[in-house]
Structure 1
Amino acid sequence: MDDIVKQALAKWPNVPHCYGWLGLDARGNWYLRDAPTQAAGPFAASKGSMLRHEKLIEFIQRNYEHDEEGRWFFQNGPQRVYVELEATPWIWRIAEDLSVRSHAGEQVEPSACLLDEDGKLYLAAPIGLGLVHTLDVGLAAEAIEQGRWVPEEVRAADLPARFGYVPSPAAGQPAGAPAPR
């Protein structure tokens, strides 16, 4: 977490949490979801505006964490902005040498390979569960053919409970949750 964020938390410890305003899609893109976007439906149906500002994306990714309930958030100064997940908390990118990095750039060593009923491929790593980016499925197939990863069949609906993450922290929250400050 950035030092400036830690300082803001210490200065303003009781800022209300924010729900529904930020989303991470299945390709590792961040989306800002204003009130009309949220009113139009859940993240999968109404994504919002894709963030393109590199420095903002880097700031979000450096301050991306989860709480004890498995809800992923971006610590925006003193405010916790919970993230709507289209798929999983992480999106994996696979390099030509078959190394794996998260959408945030962190290198990981997969501990499990999972294949769901729709043919989506997931990797578990010490930092959590992630979906393999669609552009990298061919490289993942190479790793499987080489015996590096052995896919275990799973049901996609079982993954959040099994890996302890909440796809939609906004679900179940009262209407009118605070906007990011």
Structure 2
Amino acid sequence: MDDIVKQALAKWPNVPSCTGWLMLDRRGNWRMRDDAAQASGSSGVPIRHEALLGFINRNYERDERGQWFFQNGPQRVYVELGYTPWVVRLIVEPDGTLALKDQAGNDFEPSAVLADDEGAILFADTSAQPRVAVLHDHDLEVFADHAALAEDSLSGEFHWKDGVKLSLEPVRRADVASRFGFVPSPAANA
């Protein structure tokens, strides 16, 4: 969390939080959702300002109930999730090795890979701070190039780096949030 955010929280500790105004879409884009977007259920307008995107990414956290938020100074802005709290891109490095980068540009080291019943691929990091991320749909071909899939496309294995093979596990999309302990729509929980 940025120091300026910590200072604002200390100065104004009781600023009410808000919901519905910020969304992380299925492709890892941050979107502003005004009243009209919220009323129509649309995703809103993509945020393109690099400094603002950096600020959001540095101050993006999870609360004790599994709701993700952006700490905007003293105000907590809860995030509507298009699917998972993280979206990753699968990159083939110049030396041929694979890398996963989340929407903030940070490395994502998976310990599990899953395929949902709607065709999405998810990576999970089940370390001390577990995370789950959906693979950007533009990278499905790269994934397929490094996977040995069964006919059902829901099982098989993914050939990760350094010779590590991760078993591909099926999951129902409807079960992902509860399985990984996050709330996709904090507004519905308010």
Q: Say whether residues 1:140 and 2:143 are aligned partners.
A: yes
Q: Distance in 1 between matches of 2:141 and 2:166?
A: 13
RMSD of Structure 2 on Structure 1 (CA) = 1.2
Q: How does 1:36-115 map to 2 (within 5 A)?
A: 36-41=36-41, 46-96=42-92, 97-115=97-115
- C-alpha displacement at 1:165, in angstroms? 0.4
Which of 174, 182, 187 is residue 157 of structure 1 equivalent to?
174
Secondary structure (helix, strand or coil) at the match of 2:19 reads strand
* C-alpha contact 1:5 1:77 (8 A) present in aligned 2: yes
User: In the alignment, which residue of structure 2 is the partner of 1:179?
Assistant: none
Q: In the alignment, residue 101 of structure 1 is paired with which amino acid? A: K
Is there any run of 5+ residues in structure 1 with no aligned partner, and where? 174-181
Q: Distance in 2 between matches of 1:170 and 1:92?
A: 25
Larger CA deviation: 108-117 vs 133-142: 133-142
- C-alpha displacement at 1:39, in angstroms? 1.4
Q: Distance in 2 between matches of 1:170 and 1:54?
A: 27
Q: In the alignment, residue 149 of structure 1 is paired with which amino acid? A: L
Equivalenced residue count is 169
Q: Distance in 2 between matches of 1:71 and 1:141?
A: 32
- C-alpha displacement at 1:150, in angstroms? 1.8
Q: In the alignment, residue 141 of structure 1 is paired with which amino acid? A: A
Larger Rg: 2
Q: In the alignment, residue 130 of structure 1 is paired with which amino acid? A: A
User: In the alignment, which residue of structure 1 is the partner of 2:186?
Assistant: 169
Q: Distance in 2 between matches of 1:109 and 1:144?
A: 17
Q: Say whether residues 1:131 and 2:127 are aligned partners.
A: no
CA deviations on 1:86-124 (whole Å, 9 max, x unpaired) are 110000111102111111111021011000111110000
Q: Distance in 1 between matches of 2:62 and 2:120?
A: 23
- C-alpha displacement at 1:35, in angstroms? 1.2
- C-alpha displacement at 1:137, in angstroms? 1.3
* Structure 1 runs, 4 residues or longer, greater than 3 Å off: none
Secondary structure (helix, strand or coil) at the match of 2:184 reads coil
Identify, as 1 or 2, the structure richer in strand. 2
Q: Distance in 1 between matches of 2:30 and 2:121?
A: 21
User: In the alignment, which residue of structure 2 is the partner of 1:176?
Assistant: none
User: In the alignment, which residue of structure 2 is the partner of 1:30?
Assistant: 30
Q: Distance in 2 between matches of 1:152 and 1:33?
A: 34
CA deviations on 1:144-167 (whole Å, 9 max, x unpaired) are 236333210110000100000000
- C-alpha displacement at 1:37, in angstroms? 1.4
User: In the alignment, which residue of structure 2 is the partner of 1:13?
Assistant: 13
